[in-house]
Amino acid sequence: MRDRATATLTTILIDDESLAREELKWLLNDFPEIEIVATADNGPQGMELIEAIEPDIVFLDVQMPGLDGMNVIRQLRAKGAFLPYFVFSTAYDQYAVEAFRLEAMDYLLKPVDKERLAETIERAKRNLSRREPEPPGVPVVLGEPKPRASQQHAKIVVRSGSRHFIVDAEEIVYAKINEGVITIVAKQVEGISSYRTLEDLQANLDAEQFWRVHRSFLVNIDRIREVVPWFKSSYQIRVDDKKGTEIPVSRVQTRRLRELLKL
């Protein structure tokens, strides 16, 4: 067993064969820098986990029922979602060219050789060390709403059906983007925004009040009511909309959340 010499690399395994998942987990247990935070047995579930957790590395099979490994990457790209480093682990060598066209980091043949796996992990560590860090978020202060001297009193237009509502910024609970469409959830109304990106929306709101907890979510910190432990070493936050929605916190923002709340 090697000494831990690097930061933890959060990892997801996606394979429809349970024995293959367990074999890979067993091999990865000898690499202390690898932290397996979730597993999935199909492509759609894997996509959901990737978007929610934003892991460093994903090991995935090529051939899976419903949605194969190649199309997992294609669909994530089409949505503009976060893309981790992908490592294909498969019994078939004929998909390697297509895998590298999709910019997969590596392509491992089953049964996976441990020395070859070690090379893959070293490559991932080098690549991650060169990846630009996520821009720093705003300070996070949880608790009762507090007056802010510099608070912007923005009003946001929300379209619901054929009606256009004017919503005060402080009434917004959260906003999310999916396939290029921004949905705003406020205390009394939910609908579509005319903003094209969450960055544009955030620029028109109070930077101290609205926290980009995830690439796909912008949250009013005054509307956060609970921090919920989720997959290993990750969290969701529950907000006080009508549904009590739980929103994933990205990897980088999770680190900030832990530091803030001493989790």
- Taking alpha carbons only, the member of 168, 206, 162 closest to residue 184 is 168
Per this entry, what is the length of the chain? 263
pLDDT of 181 above 50: yes
Can you give the residue ranges of every domain in the chain? 9-130, 155-261
Q: Say how far apart CA 77 and CA 170 lie, in whole Å.
A: 33
Handedness of CA 165, 194, 217, 257 (dihedral sign): negative
Residue 103 has a pLDDT of: 80
pLDDT of 262 above 70: no
In the structure, what pLDDT confidence band is assigned to residue 3 with cuts at 50, 70 and 90? very low
What's the mean pLDDT in 65-81? Answer: 87
Q: Say how far apart CA 65 and CA 14 lie, in whole Å.
A: 12
Phi, psi of 92 (to 5 degrees): -115, 130
Per residue in 148-170, pLDDT (tens digit) is 544 454 788 899 988 889 888 88
Per residue in 117-133, pLDDT (tens digit) is 999 999 888 887 766 45
pLDDT of 144 above 60: no
Per residue in 192-238, pLDDT (tens digit) is 998 888 888 888 888 888 988 888 899 998 898 888 887 666 788 89
Q: Provide the CATH topology of domain 9-130.
A: Rossmann fold (3.40.50)
Q: Say how far apart CA 172 and CA 191 lie, in whole Å.
A: 11
pLDDT of 261 above 70: no
8 A C-beta contact, residue 206 and residue 169: yes
Residue 136 has a pLDDT of: 45
Handedness of CA 210, 212, 214, 217 (dihedral sign): positive
* pTM of model > 0.85: no
Q: Say how far apart CA 152 and CA 170 lie, in whole Å.
A: 9
Q: Provide the CATH topology of domain 155-261.
A: OB fold (Dihydrolipoamide Acetyltransferase, E2P) (2.40.50)
Per residue in 24-70, pLDDT (tens digit) is 999 999 999 898 989 999 999 999 899 888 888 999 999 888 889 99
In the structure, what pLDDT confidence band is assigned to residue 142 with cuts at 50, 70 and 90? low
**In the predicted model, what is the mean pLDDT of the chain?**
83
Residue 7 has a pLDDT of: 61
Strand order across the 106-109 sheet: 34-40, 9-14, 57-60, 85-90, 106-109
Instruction: Give me Rg for the CA atoms of the chain.
Output: 20
